[in-house]
Amino acid sequence: MPPSAFDNFFQKVKSATKQAADNTAKQAKIAKYRMNLMTLQTEKSRFLQTVGIRVYTMFLQNSRILGDQLFDQVKDDLGNIERIDVRMQELEENIAELKSKDAELEIKDVTSPTEEQKEAPKEPPKEG
């Protein structure tokens, strides 16, 4: 027995709703990654400012930059900046991956009949 018109309509609505929910979830994930990127960029800026302040302070105190001494003062900050850069790269790759899945997805026309519906035998009209 072929599906009724109501069942057919219900399946189409269900499919469209699922597509919309999936797309919304994906967009939310991308937004979360972007927020994390902004937070990391703020942190990175803070570490870069700290390094700059230490360099300038050393220059004010000594009228020159003492390389080894400066490196000892900023090595932790530089390590944090490197870790942030790695994490930011990972987040950017995650965003690119989610966006590329968008391009790979086949847009499905929920108004056209499915293969099952096309192959289902039609009932002859009832005479009566």
pLDDT tens-digit map of 86-96: 999 999 999 99
Distance between CA atoms of residues 32 and 93, nearest Å = 14
pLDDT score, position 125: 53
C-alpha dist (Å) from residue 64 to 50, 53, 71: 18, 14, 14
pTM: 0.67
Q: What is the pLDDT of residues 93-113, one digit of tens each?
A: 999 999 887 666 545 545 555
- Torsions phi, psi of 111, nearest 5? -90, -15
- Torsions phi, psi of 64, nearest 5? -165, 170
User: Per-domain residue ranges for the chain?
Assistant: 17-105
